[in-house]
Amino acid sequence: MTSKDQNTPHIYGIGKKKESTAIVYLVPFSDSTSQTTCEVNGRKAEQYFQQNFTYLKQISLPLKTVKLEKKYKIIANVKGGGLTGQADSIRLGIARALCKVDKLNFRPTLKFEGFLTRDARIKERRKYGLKKARKASQYSKR
């Protein structure tokens, strides 16, 4: 950790997938007052993701990979997209924030696991003359 990082109370990372964007803050547990480990848009992650433990497990994977799940509280502000895209964008934001904590040790591990890869697939734009991106009106011979 550099001297600049020691002065800031939290570390942040930005993650994106599909239409969703997440700004993720990693707050050390000594600074936080509540005992919730993950908070999304001001609510507990279990409540926000409707008790779907697939999303909750996916979010915590980068911290478990570097063995820091008990050290940091996750605070995420997410907008856009659905729950799957939001969970993936939070995961990418956590991985990027962890790289700011200790780049030399954490980055190779997170890169090998695929947590630092941005999934660039987005919705294709609509073209003129078509109903959707690729859907055309039915061809009539006569």
Please, which pLDDT band fits residue 44 given cuts at 50, 70 and 90? very high
Q: What is the pLDDT of residue 70?
A: 84
Backbone CA torsion sign across 15, 16, 17, 19: positive
Contact residues for 108 (Cβ-Cβ < 8 A; gap 6+): none
Integer Cα distance of 142 and 130 in angstroms:
20
Q: What is the pLDDT of residue 4?
A: 47
**pLDDT for 101-123, tens place per residue?**
888 889 999 999 999 999 888 89
The residue ranges of DSSP E strands in 1-142, in sequence order, are 11-17, 20-28, 38-40, 43-44, 72-79
Backbone CA torsion sign across 86, 88, 91, 92: negative
**pLDDT for 78-104, tens place per residue?**
999 999 999 999 999 999 999 998 888
Domains and CATH numbers, the chain: 3-113 (3.30.230.10)
Please, which pLDDT band fits residue 69 given cuts at 50, 70 and 90? confident
Answer whether residue 52 shows pLDDT above 60. Answer: yes
Q: What are phi and psi of 93, to 5 degrees?
A: -65, -40
**pLDDT for 14-43, tens place per residue?**
999 999 999 999 988 765 455 668 899 999
